[in-house]
Amino acid sequence: MTERADAAAALARAASLRAEVHRTSRWYMRYLLVYGVAAFVTTLLVGMLPGAAGVGVAMGLWAAVIGGLSVYAARQRVSRRGFARRHGGIIGVWAALYGVVLAVGATEYPGDLAWWLPGAALVALPALAGAYPEARR
């Protein structure tokens, strides 16, 4: 083989390995989908179920989901480049939105579906929106 062909073959090999890493890293899409759905459900439970019962049920569900997701993530063999920064950003935005929806909803709109339904959707948005580009890779 010529030097040019060797170089082209090496670059093709690198592209193939990059595609394989991206394919294997798609576990994060599933992680984010579950995270987003759980964020939606728990936010709705906190807002719509009255008193400590709602908080207890929501927190129990949330702890179970996060525990399961943590085990799932720890068992993965690879994460794509930029994963930590991306995950940190998504969790940061989720935490900020959750804090606002919870603080305003608990004081101004307790039990009001008109607040908590869009609020829960907003809280779920960072994870669900983050899953989309992961699916396209």
Partner 1 sequence: MSHPRHQLDEVIHSPVRFAIAALLAAAEKAEFGYVRDTVEITDSALSKQVATLEKAGYVKVTKGYVGKRPRTWLSLTRAGRTAFDVHCAALRAIADTSRTPETA
Binding stretches for partner 1 (CB under 8 A) = 3-4, 7-8, 10-11, 13-14, 17-18, 20-22, 24-25, 74-75, 77-84
Q: Provide the token pair at 65.
A: 């989901």
Nearer to partner 1, 62 or 83 (CB): 83
Minimum separation from the CB atom of position 28 to partner 1 (A):
10
Integer Cα distance of 59 and 73 in angstroms: 21
Helix (H), strand (E) at residue 52:
helix 51-74
Handedness of CA 12, 18, 20, 22 (dihedral sign): negative
Task: Give Rg (Cα) of the chain.
Answer: 20
Are the beta carbons of 54 and 45 closer than 8 angstroms? yes
**Whose Cβ is closer to partner 1: residue 84's or residue 114's?**
84
Closest distance of CB 65 from partner 1, Å: 19
Q: Give whichever of 32 and 46 is closer to partner 1, judged by the CB atom.
A: 32
CA gap 25, 83 in Å, rounded? 9
Comparison of 29 and 37: residue with beta carbon closer to partner 1: 29
Residue 21 neighbours by CB distance under 10 Å: 14
Q: How far is the CB of 128 from partner 1 (least distance, A)?
A: 22
Q: How far is the CB of 60 from partner 1 (least distance, A)?
A: 23
